[in-house]
Structure 1
Amino acid sequence: MPADKPPVGQSAPDLEIVGNQVTIHPSAVTGGEPHDDEITERNLVRHMARFRENPFDFLREVSLYMSGTGWRAYDDVIGQPIFYSGFTDRMKSRILASTLLQGKVKELAATRLAVEEKEGLLDIQPGPVDRKRTHRRSEIESHLREVVDSMLDSMICKMESKRFIRGAYYLCTQLLTRAYHQGIHVSSEEVLRLRSVAEEAARKKQSIVFLPCHKSHVDYVSLQLICYRLGIGLPVVVAGENLNIPMLGPFLQHAGAMWIRRSFGNDPLYNTVVQAYIDTMLQQGFNFECFIEGGRSRTGKLLSPKFGILSFILDSVISGRVEDTIICPVSTQYDKVIETESYISELLGQPKRKENLADLLSSSSVLSLKLGRVDVRFHEPWSLKEFIAQQLTRLPEQIDANGGRTLSYDDRGRVLRSLGYRVLSDINDVSVMMPTALVGTVLLTLRGRGVGKGELVRRVEWLCERVRAKGGRVAHFYRYPTEVVVERALEVLGPQIVGEITGLVEPTFHAVDRFQLSFYRNMMIHLFITEALVSTAMYTRIKQGGGPSYQRMSYGDLVNQVSFLSQLFRGEFIFPPEGLATNLEKTLRGLERDNVITVSRDTSGVPLFVELSDAERQCGRENYDFYCFLIWPFIEASWLGSVSLLGLTPPLNGPKDVWIDLNKAQNNAQLLGKTLYHQGDLSYFEAVNKETLKNSYQRFAEEGIVHVAKSKESKASSVRLAPEWIPERDAETGKLVPRGRLWDFTELIAQSRREGKNRRDGATVSSRVMRMSDLVGRKLFEDAASPSPVEEVDVSMRQMRRKAIAPAKL
C-alpha cells in the first residue's frame, strides 16, 4: 500500500480525551475512497504516570482521582442516579416489592402447603385447621423471603461509593494501558450518537442494554472505562459466579457486577429472582450489560447466541412489565488477546483452570505486555419494542380469551432466536479488522512453509481491499505504509507465534503456532464465509485435476454442495439473512467481478456452469485458494467428527442400546484426530479443536444422526447412533463395512476436504482410518456401564423446532 495513496476512507473520526479536553481526530479505521486529511493515532485513555518514572506526577494523578477533580468526579452522569450510599438497599426493596416475585413466593408456599396437608403434617397442634393452615403458609412464605434475601445479597451489584469507583477507574486504567500500550480507540460519531441516545433514554427512564461480543476478560473493563470517561451511567454487568473469587469478587460487585449461577437448574425461585431483578433495572432505567455469546470465545469468531439472560430481557418487554428498552450491540477487537495461550490449552483438551486473581493479573506477565490496542465500536442502538412488533407481524395471529394476542412457546422461541442473531449480525457489521488479524489470516492462507516480507505486504494490501469491498473496516493504517503496519503486527504477535528466518535474500516469516494464530484469522472469517463455501464446493471438481473442461462444475452440483455445507455449518457461522438463492447469486457475481471465476449462463441469464477464470489460473489460484484455506480447518473438524461416529458402532455380538458418555466420546474424537494428524490423514491440527468438535456433535444431533440423552440424576449426557445410521459390520470379521448412510455422509463432507499427498490412496476414509476409529470406539464400549434409565431428548421434535426457528442458511 503506497505511502502517497493513503487508504483512509470517510469513516467517522476517532475521539481523544485527555484531561478535560475532548478532541476529534481523523478516523483510525479505513474504508471507502481515500482523502488527504492529516492522520494521527490517538487513544481514548492516555498513559498514566508511574511512580518510578515520575513520582510527583504519579502522586498528583492519584490526588486528582481521589478528590474527584473535574470529569473524575463522575457527578453529571447521563442516566439514573448510581454510586450513592443506600443504593443497594433501595434496589433490594424494589425487587422484593415486585409483583412477579411476591406471586412466585405465594405460589411456592401454596404448593408446599398442599404437599404437607396431603401428607398429614399440618395436624401437629390443636386448633382450627384453617388457622393452622394460615399460620403454616405464613411460616413458609417467611422462610422463602429469607432465601430470596440471601440470593439477592450474593447477586445484586453494590454501586455505593463514588470514591471507590474513581479509584477503580484509576486502577483499571493503569493496568489496561500497561498491557495495551496503544490504549482504547472508539469512533467519535458512534460515541456522540450513543450519548444522544443515552440522554433520550434517561428522559424516558429507559435502559440501554449493551450486548458485546466476548473474547477476553478485558471486554467488560474497557466498556466500563468508556462509559465512565464519557459520563454515561455504568451498566450493571451480568457475570458468572466463577469470577466471584476472594478480593476480585467484592471489587467487581461494587463496580457493577451482578453475580448469577452458571446454571439455574430446576430452581423456579432463583429464576424468578433473576427475572424480578432484571425487570426492576429495566423499569427504573438503569443501563445493563450481558455478553450475547455467554462465555468467552476461545476460537476468535463469534459463537452462537446464548438465550438465557436475553430471554429474561425479552420477557420483560413482551409481558408489558417494561415499556421498552434500547439494544446496543458492541464489538470489541484486540491486536492481541491476553488469554489465547490458555484458550489453546483448553481447546486441546486440558481441563479449564479455576479462576483466581493471581492468574488473571499474571497472564503472560500482563503488567508488562505491549499488546497493541483495543478497538471498541458501537452499533446504532435500536428499540427492542419495535423489533418485537416487527417480528410479530411475521407470525400468525393468536388471540387469547380476552381478545389480546398470545405467543406460543415456539413463536416466542423464533422471536428470541431472531433477536440473538440480529445482535450477532450487528456486531459483525461494526467489527474492525485489526492488523494482527490481517497478518495472521495471510500467513494461514498461503501455500508453502513461509512467506517473504514483500509478498506478505502485498497480500495484506490485497486483503485490506477485499475487506473494504465486503463492507468491512480495517484498523489504524493512517498514512503509514503497509510495511510499517505489518511490522507492528508482527511485533505484537511475537516470535512465539510468528517466526522470522534471517540471513536469506529477504526476511521470511512463518507460522510457529498455527493453532494460536488461527484465533486471529477467525476474527474475519465471517466476511468471506459465502465465498469460502462456494470455493470449497467447487473444489470437489478442481481437486480431480486435468484441464479446465474437467474442472468445470455444473450449477446444479454447485448448489447441492453449497446447500449441504451451509447446513453443516449452520451453527458455526453467521450467514447473511437473504437466503440460499440470493446469497449464492451475489457471491458468484462478486467472484466473477473479481475475476476469480467464470460463470457460463444461458440467454436468460440462468447459470449453467462455474469454473476458475483464466486469470486466476495464471496467478496460481492464489485468490481462490485464500477462500478455501479459510474454511478447510472447519471442514476437517466436521469430517473428523463424522469419522469418530463410526467408532460408536456397537460391537458385533454386543448389546445395541448402549449409551456412551458424551464427554468421553468427544475426548476420544480428539484423540483420534491427534493420531490422524500425526499420521498424515488430517491436514490441520486445529481440526482437533474441542469447541468445533462439540459444535459438530450438536449438528449431528439436530440432524438425527445421533441421539443425545441426559441423566435425570446428574448433568451428564450420553450419546448413541440412531438405529438407521448405524454402519454394518462384516458378519465374520466384525470389521466395519464402508457403506451406509453414515459412510455416505462422511464422504460428502470429505469431497470438500483439502487433498493432501498422504491421502491419495483410494477412498477418502481409508480402511486404516476406519480401523483406527473402530479401535478408539471399542474402548468406549468397554468403559460404558449397562444401559441405565435416562431421559432421552426427543430428537425429531427438537430437530423440527430448531429448523423452524434457525437463522437462514447460505
Structure 2
Amino acid sequence: MDDASGSPSTARAAGAETSRGRGGLLDRWFRPVQVPEEAAGTLADLAARGSLVFVTRAAGLLNFLYLAWLLRRWNLPPLRAALGLRGPLPWLLRIRSSRASVEAALRGRQSTLVFLENGADPFPWLLDVQRRHAGAVFLVPALLLWSRRAKRLEGSFWDILYGSAERPSRFATLAAFVLNYKRALLRLGAPLDLSALIAERGGEPDALLGRKVRGALHHHLARQTRAVVGPALKSPRRMRDKILRDRSLRATMARVAQEAGRPAASVEAEAEKDLAEIASRYSPAFIELLRPILSRIFARLYDRVEVDAAGLARVKRAAAESPIVLCPSHKSHVDYLMLSWLFYVNGITPPHIAAGINLSFWPFGAIARRGGAFFIRRSMKGDRIYTATLRAYVKQLLRDGFPQEFYLEGGRSRTGKLLFPKTGLFSMEVDAWVEGAAQDVLFVPVAVDYERLMEGGSYARELAGGEKQKESLRGLLGTWKVLRRRYGRVYVRFSAPVSLRALAQERLGARAGALAPDEEGAAPASAAARSALPSTTGDKRELVQALANRVAFGIAQAITLTPVGLAATALLSHRRRGLSARELAARVDLLRAVAAQDGAPFAPDLQGAPSDPCRPGPMADALVRLSRERLVEVHEAAGEVIYRVVEEKRPVLDFYRNNVIHRYVSLALAAAAVRALGGDEAGQVRERARFLSRLLKLEFMYQSGLSFDEAFEASVDRLSRLGAVAAEGGRIAPGRDAAVLEFLSEMIRPYLEAYRVAGEAVLAAFSGPGRSAPGEGAPVALDRRALVREAMERGRAGFLSGHVALREALSKATLENAVEWLTQRGALAEAENGRLALDPQWREVELPSLLHEIGRHLGG
C-alpha cells in the first residue's frame, strides 16, 4: 500500500537505488527513512557548485551517521567532519570535530555538519572561512525526525526521562529511532549561499551577520518541525479558557447580555456549552494508532491511491511557511480519512476538519474528534453566541498554526459536479486573518476523485427523490459490507495554494488594510460606528467571494480526467440507443485533445494509451468494469461492437460524467447556441450562448477573471479548429463536422430538460386544477419541497411519455437548482412561512417565454 499512496514510496530514500548493489550495516535501519523526492538532485547540483554544510538543530551522532550514509549512497561528497560533536562514541568512530578539520573538508569540497544548539556559535567563523575560501559554501538546513511526538505546553513526568519534543534526551532519541525508524523522515530546507550573502551584505561584521544567519536557520527549522509534528498542544481546559477569553467573543457576549437582559454568567455558560459541542480533542497518538488501520483499509478498498507528488511537495513547503487551510472537493466520506492519512504518512501534521454536526453521533463523533474533527451546525442563523464561539475557535486554530480543512461545497456532491462554494467558513478565516491571528493564510484547493464511488448507489436513490439516510451507529455498523468490494483507483491532486494576503492586495490594494471583521467578530459595537464603514463591509464581502471562487476554480483545475469519466461523457451525450466502439473512440479522442490543450491532469495510465475500447488499455478496462457492474451492455452486430447504457443506470453513470464536464462547458454552450440557430449573425449566436450561460449559472462555475465575451470568442475559435462551426463574414454556422457539434451540444441537454420540467411544474402548480392558466383553485403559495416533488413527478410522467428524453434529467439536485434559479430571478418570491409564490408577470409572460426558448434547444 505504500506504493499505492504515491508519495511515501517515491519519497523513501530517494536516490538510494543508485547504489542498489552496495550493502551496509546501516542499510536496514536507514533505508526506510522518508526523503523528499527532489533532494538527491538538489544536493547534487549544490555539490557541483560548492561545499555542503548541513545544519541540524541539536548535536547527535545518529544524525551524523544517517547523513553520512545517505551521501555515500547518492555518490555525493562524503561527510567528513561535524563541528562540536563530542562524546566517547564519536571519538571511537574517529569523527573529526575541530574547526581545522571542518575547514579542511570545505577546502577539499567535502561535506560537513554543524549544530545550532551546541556551544559556540559557528556561523561568524563560517562566514570568515567563506571570505577566505574560493568556492561557495552552502548551508543546508536538515531536519531529521525519528519521532512524531508533539510538544506539550504542560510538562509531565516523562519529560524528565525523554526531554522535550524539541530537545529530546539521548535516551529518547535512541528509543525513538529503534521504535520508529520505519516512519522517520528527513526534510531539507532552502540552502543559504554564504558567498552570495557576503557579496550582498559584505559590509556587515561577521558577528552580526552570523547572528542573522543563525536566527534565520533556527526559524526555518522550527517551522519545518512544526509542519511535521504540529504546534504545541494545549490541554482541553487551557484551550477552552483561551477561546473564552477571546476579545471578539467577549464583546459579542457582552452585547447579547445587554440586549437580552441576561446575566453575563448565563451567556458565558452558553458559549462554553457551544464550545464543547464544537471543539475537537486532537490526539497525535490516536492518529498514529489509526494510521496502520487506515493503511490496511485503503489497501483493501482501492487498487491504488495516485497522489500528485509535485503538488504534495508544494503543500509541504506551504505548511512550513504559513498556516494552511485545505479545501477539497467533497464526494465521499472517504475524503477526510484519505487526506488525514495521506498527510500523516507523508510527514505533514493532519488537519483539524470542519464536519457537520450530523456526524457527531456515538461512537463516531468521539473517534473523529480525536482525529481532529470539530463539528458545526448546519444552520446557525440568528444564534450570535454560537457563531461568535465558532469564530473564536477557528481563530485560535489559525493563531496556533494548526492546518485546517473544510469543504467549500458544505456537503457531499451527489451529482459529481463541483457545487457552488458556501462562504461562511471562508468569511471566518478572513475575519481571523484581519484580526491578526496570522500574517498570511494559504488555502490549498484539493481534488479527490474516485474511479468507483462507494456511495454511488445511495446518491442515485437520493437524486431520484429518495430521502437522505441519517448518519447513525446502525449505518456505521453496516460499513462491513463496503469493505468486501473493490473500488478501483483514487486520485488526489493539489492546486497551487491561494495566499489570502496576496489576494487581498490584488483585489483591494491599499483598502485591504482597512478591512474589519463581521459583527460577531470584532466589529465596532455601535450601529453608527458600523455604518461609518460601508465600503469596508463591501470590500470584505468582495474578498471572501473572490477567495471562494479562486479556490473553487483551483479545485476544478485539479480534477483528474479518468477513463471512466471520459467513457461516461462519450456514452451519455446523445439520445440514441447505443454507440459504436469507433464513435466512442472518436469522442474520447476529442475530449482528451481539448482537455490536454488546457493542461488538464489525466490519470497516469492514460498517457499514450489508445482511446479505442477494443484495444488493450485503460479505456478497454473501464468499459469492461462498467459492463461488469451492469451499467453498460456490450453487443456485437454487423462486425461492430456497440455499447449501450442500461437505461435505469444512466443516473449512476451521470455522476462520472459530471466529474469532468466542467472542462467542456464553454464549448458546449457555444455549440448549443450555433446548433439551435442553425447559423446566424455572430452577435445573435453570442446572445443565445449568453442566455444559456445565465440559465445554467447554478450548474457550472465559469472561469473567474474571464469575461463572457472573452470566453465565447475563445470557444468559437476552438470549435472552428475542430470543424464544428464555420465562422466567417460575421456569421457563425455549423461546420463540416456535424458529429462534433452534436456531441458537444448534447452535453447540456439533461440540464435544459430539467429546467424545462421545473418551469412547467411551477406553471402548472400555480394554475387552477387541470388548467394551464391561472384560475380559481390555484394556490397562493407553495412549499419549496412541494414544488420540487411536483417537478419530480411531472418529470417522471414526461419521461414515460417521451417528452423528456434523458432519465438523468430527473435529478432532484438539478430540479432544486432550477427552483432556486427562478427564485433568484424574481419569478418565485418568498411568502408567509417560507413558502414561494409565483409572480403574475412571470406566470403570464416570462415563464412561458422561457420555456419556449429552452424548447428551441430541445427540438420542441
Normalising by structure 1, report the TM-score. 0.73
Output the amino acid matched with 1:152: L
Offset from partner CA, 1:564-619 (integer Å, 9 cap, x none) = 11111112111123112111111111111222211013xxxxxx2111223x1xxx
Residue 627 (1) aligns with residue 744 (2): yes
Residue 89 (1) aligns with residue 237 (2): yes
Output the amino acid matched with 1:102: R
Residue 157 (1) aligns with residue 280 (2): yes
Measured at CA, do residues 269 and 447 of structure 1 come closer, stay the same or move farther in structure 2, by a change above 3 Å? Answer: closer
Output the amino acid matched with 2:629: P
- The partner residue of 1:640 within 757, 761, 783 is 757
Measured at CA, do residues 397 and 97 of structure 1 come closer, stay the same or move farther in structure 2, by a change above 3 Å? Answer: closer
Deviation at 1:449, TM superposition (A): 2.1
- The partner residue of 2:573 within 420, 424, 445 is 445
Query: Map of 1:519-530 to 2, 5 A cutoff?
Result: 519-530=655-666
C-alpha distance in 2 between matches for 1:178 and 1:709: 52
Offset from partner CA, 1:260-300 (integer Å, 9 cap, x none) = 11111321100000000011111121111100111011111
- The partner residue of 2:502 within 386, 407, 411 is 386
Q: Which moved more, 1:66-75 or 1:687-696?
A: 66-75
**Would you say the 8 A contact 2:675–2:734 is kept in 1?**
no
Deviation at 1:407, TM superposition (A): 3.8
C-alpha distance in 1 between matches for 2:672 and 2:609: 35
Which residue matches 1:575?
A: 702
Output the amino acid matched with 2:460: I
Which residue matches 1:737?
A: none
Residue 707 (1) aligns with residue 829 (2): yes
Secondary structure, aligned partner of 2:420:
coil
**Would you say the 8 A contact 2:631–2:650 is kept in 1?**
yes
Residue 508 (1) aligns with residue 642 (2): yes
**Would you say the 8 A contact 2:231–2:400 is kept in 1?**
no
Deviation at 1:497, TM superposition (A): 1.5
Output the amino acid matched with 2:753: E
Query: Map of 1:589-628 to 2, 5 A cutoff?
Result: 589-601=717-729, 608-614=730-736, 616=737, 621-628=738-745
C-alpha distance in 2 between matches for 1:609 and 1:295: 44
- The partner residue of 2:619 within 482, 486, 497 is 486
The alignment of Structure 1 onto Structure 2 pairs a total of residues equal to 637
Deviation at 1:396, TM superposition (A): 12
Residue 221 (1) aligns with residue 355 (2): no
Which residue matches 1:749?
A: 854
**Would you say the 8 A contact 1:87–1:160 is kept in 2?**
no
Deviation at 1:523, TM superposition (A): 1.0
- The partner residue of 1:555 within 682, 698, 701 is 682
Offset from partner CA, 1:373-425 (integer Å, 9 cap, x none) = 11111111132022122222498999998999764544433322222111111
Deviation at 1:633, TM superposition (A): 0.6
Residue 679 (1) aligns with residue 801 (2): yes
Give % identity.
Answer: 27
Secondary structure, aligned partner of 2:602:
strand
Deviation at 1:673, TM superposition (A): 0.5
**Would you say the 8 A contact 2:515–2:536 is kept in 1?**
no
**Would you say the 8 A contact 2:440–2:500 is kept in 1?**
yes
Residue 725 (1) aligns with residue 842 (2): yes
**Would you say the 8 A contact 2:563–2:618 is kept in 1?**
yes
C-alpha distance in 2 between matches for 1:584 and 1:594: 15
C-alpha distance in 1 between matches for 2:315 and 2:180: 25
Output the amino acid matched with 2:656: Y
Output the amino acid matched with 1:218: V
**Would you say the 8 A contact 1:68–1:166 is kept in 2?**
no
C-alpha distance in 2 between matches for 1:705 and 1:213: 32
Measured at CA, do residues 179 and 398 of structure 1 come closer, stay the same or move farther in structure 2, by a change above 3 Å? Answer: closer
Secondary structure, aligned partner of 2:411:
coil
C-alpha distance in 2 between matches for 1:599 and 1:706: 39
C-alpha distance in 2 between matches for 1:564 and 1:526: 18
C-alpha distance in 1 between matches for 2:855 and 2:476: 41
Deviation at 1:71, TM superposition (A): 5.3
**Would you say the 8 A contact 1:442–1:456 is kept in 2?**
yes
Output the amino acid matched with 2:442: I
Deviation at 1:151, TM superposition (A): 1.9
Offset from partner CA, 1:623-654 (integer Å, 9 cap, x none) = 11221121111111111111112113343553
**Would you say the 8 A contact 1:65–1:72 is kept in 2?**
no
Deviation at 1:492, TM superposition (A): 4.1
**Would you say the 8 A contact 2:253–2:264 is kept in 1?**
yes
C-alpha distance in 1 between matches for 2:289 and 2:178: 10
Output the amino acid matched with 1:342: S
C-alpha distance in 1 between matches for 2:403 and 2:179: 23
Structure with the largest fraction of helix: 2
Which residue matches 2:816?
A: 694
Which residue matches 2:315?
A: 194
Measured at CA, do residues 425 and 311 of structure 1 come closer, stay the same or move farther in structure 2, by a change above 3 Å? Answer: same
Which residue matches 1:108?
A: 256
Which residue matches 2:543?
A: 415
Deviation at 1:322, TM superposition (A): 4.1
Measured at CA, do residues 639 and 175 of structure 1 come closer, stay the same or move farther in structure 2, by a change above 3 Å? Answer: same
- The partner residue of 2:631 within 476, 497, 510 is 497
Calculate the aligned-residue CA RMSD, in Å: 3.1
Deviation at 1:552, TM superposition (A): 2.5
**Would you say the 8 A contact 2:445–2:495 is kept in 1?**
yes
Secondary structure, aligned partner of 1:79:
helix
C-alpha distance in 2 between matches for 1:104 and 1:424: 32
C-alpha distance in 1 between matches for 2:35 and 2:568: 35
Which residue matches 1:69?
A: 180
Measured at CA, do residues 85 and 527 of structure 1 come closer, stay the same or move farther in structure 2, by a change above 3 Å? Answer: closer
Deviation at 1:68, TM superposition (A): 5.4
Deviation at 1:226, TM superposition (A): 1.4
Residue 16 (1) aligns with residue 10 (2): yes
The structure number with the bigger radius of gyration is 2
Which residue matches 1:531?
A: 667
Offset from partner CA, 1:109-158 (integer Å, 9 cap, x none) = 22333xx7xxxxxxxxxxxxxxxxxxxxxxx2223322222222221111
Measured at CA, do residues 710 and 22 of structure 1 come closer, stay the same or move farther in structure 2, by a change above 3 Å? Answer: farther
Residue 146 (1) aligns with residue 269 (2): yes
Query: Map of 1:289-328 to 2, 5 A cutoff?
Result: 289-328=405-444
Secondary structure, aligned partner of 1:365:
helix
**Would you say the 8 A contact 2:34–2:184 is kept in 1?**
no
Offset from partner CA, 1:707-730 (integer Å, 9 cap, x none) = 12463xxxxx31111122223xxx
C-alpha distance in 1 between matches for 2:609 and 2:350: 36
Deviation at 1:210, TM superposition (A): 0.7
Query: Map of 1:318-357 to 2, 5 A cutoff?
Result: 318-357=434-473
Which residue matches 2:520?
A: none
**Would you say the 8 A contact 1:208–1:325 is kept in 2?**
yes
Q: Which moved more, 1:389-398 or 1:143-152?
A: 389-398
Which residue matches 2:776?
A: 654
Output the amino acid matched with 2:725: I
Output the amino acid matched with 1:522: N
Output the amino acid matched with 1:144: V
Measured at CA, do residues 142 and 508 of structure 1 come closer, stay the same or move farther in structure 2, by a change above 3 Å? Answer: same
Q: Which has the higher contact order (CA 8 A, sep 6+)?
A: 1
Offset from partner CA, 1:656-684 (integer Å, 9 cap, x none) = 77111111111101100010011000111
Secondary structure, aligned partner of 2:445:
strand
Query: Map of 1:257-276 to 2, 5 A cutoff?
Result: 257-276=373-392
- The partner residue of 1:467 within 582, 595, 601 is 595
C-alpha distance in 2 between matches for 1:676 and 1:394: 56
Secondary structure, aligned partner of 1:523:
helix
Which residue matches 2:354?
A: 238
* Residue segments in structure 2 that go unaligned for 5+ positions in a row: 1-5, 13-31, 39-174, 187-223, 517-528, 769-773
Residue 377 (1) aligns with residue 493 (2): yes
Measured at CA, do residues 169 and 398 of structure 1 come closer, stay the same or move farther in structure 2, by a change above 3 Å? Answer: closer
Which residue matches 2:365?
A: 249
Deviation at 1:521, TM superposition (A): 0.6
Normalising by structure 2, report the TM-score. 0.69
**Would you say the 8 A contact 2:498–2:551 is kept in 1?**
no
Output the amino acid matched with 1:197: A
Secondary structure, aligned partner of 1:610:
strand
C-alpha distance in 1 between matches for 2:513 and 2:358: 43
